[in-house]
Amino acid sequence: MPGTMGIPVRHCWRPRVALAAALLLAGGAGTLAAQERTSAQEAGLIREAFLHAWDGYVQYAWGHDQLKPLSHGWRDWYPASLEMTPLDGFDTMLLMGLKAQAARAKRLILDSLSFDRDFPVQVFEVTIRELGGLLSAYQLDGDPRFLALARDLGNRLLPAFGSKTGMPYRFVNLRTGAVTGPVSNPAEIGTLTLEFGTLSKLSGDARYYDAAKHAVTALFERRSRIGLVGSSIDVETGAWGNRDSHVSGGIDSYYEYLLKAWLLFRDPDFKRMWDASIAAVNRYLADERTGLWYGHADMDTGERKAPYFGALDAFFPAVLAKSGDIPHAARLMGSVYRMWTTFGIEPEVLDYFTMRPVEAGYQLRPEALESAYYLYRITGDRRYRDMGRVMVDSLLHYTRSEVGFTALTSVVTKERRDAMESFFLAETLKYAYLLFAPPETLDFDAIVFNTEAHPIRRTWSAPR
């Protein structure tokens, strides 16, 4: 617990977290909620936080990919900006009713964003942030120029799937189609189906869906005898490298997209792959020795490895809940909340045996809030809102800076790092806001979020 680890705290805040942890874990969340802000006030606080982050970007990083809040500077991922922060944050602005900010972001995107660039990009990141953002923008805003940009990007990414196995290379040059990075991982291979599939549905061009589905099927067919996947695979040979299996970064959203592709496209092949995969995950990765966590195991034997779980793994209660497995989702969410409140904010990676950080940083990640939102919307249980309230308070307290919000080098010391990723506006603040906003803000049951929290609506009728 925090007191035994010598973690420096601000006394105006720490007693509230201790009380929150005690009440929530004891099932007494309702008592705490009565002492807190109303849901409307909480949503307003989060909306103000978004404006603070956006204003910092506008002042110091306009036209670039992301803000560096401590140095009042900016960072581009590549030799030219891909307008990541405006595009990632655009649908959040629409959901929050920030019409003036959305209009300004839209002008920048449509006037400045070009994919005719002679440099390689990471297929996974550009797909979930850029392609996903454009598709969501088109569905929410209706401007066909968003869809035109999405199709242009999709065409430029298609050469990545040209390996012998059909699994994509990690990088592709947007102008020449040259590919690099044959050693990839399940997340980067399997987290393309929602975006490429939606592009096919909206454009009428089946190539995108077919390429992404073929890739994930090729990966699934190379799972081990016991049904697990490893951490790295060569897309040219299909040979596994690192055989460590888990639900953390590098594998995480592979599982997420098996379920969500079934929900969005109603393609029974995805349901078959999800059912087989989750059975293996629950059998070999679920670890109940100190509560419920999902740890690491050898993909071939199932032998338990490191007892590690972290910020990226915290998406899994949401996926379990969406699949209908509320018992596992609820227990795992309790572990996620314990991880968060032990340090006042979650670490990147935690050893759940010792309850000490393995990687102590916090990158403004959204997954814990994402899971609280899913569980609240699916179950209606107020304790998940109260968990979210505590997490939002600590997040805003420790990461707010004069300009925007900043990542932490360590959740133990609360030392800051000069970075505000675009997903903070796309995911973290969106899930936080939706947790407290009226349910009609976004019809949870009518959309599927991509892994960057861009909502996609199934506007097509007949299954493929």
Q: Which of 415, 431, 399 is nearest to 67 (CA)?
A: 399
What is the CB-side half-sphere exposure of residue 354 using CA atoms within 13 A? 9
Structure tokens at 93: 């602005």
- CB of 179 within 8 A of CB of 169? yes
Mark whether 252 is an active-site residue.
yes
In the set 367, 386, 421, 452, the catalytic residue is: 367
Structure tokens at 262: 């079934």
Structure tokens at 301: 């034997």
Q: Which of 372, 394, 353, 259 is nearest to 314 (CA)?
A: 372
Structure tokens at 167: 């699994």
Mark whether 427 is an active-site residue.
no
Residue owning tokens 């006030």: 41
* Burial grade of 64 (CB within 10 A; 0-12, 13-18, 19 or more): buried
What is the CB-side half-sphere exposure of residue 210 using CA atoms within 13 A? 5
In the set 42, 252, 427, 452, the catalytic residue is: 252
- CB of 296 within 8 A of CB of 249? no
Rg of the chain, C-alpha, whole Å:
21
What's the CA angle centered on 144, arms 206 and 191, to 5 degrees? 45
In the set 313, 348, 386, 421, the catalytic residue is: 348
In the set 83, 125, 421, 452, the catalytic residue is: 125
Q: Which residues are catalytic?
A: 125, 252, 348, 367
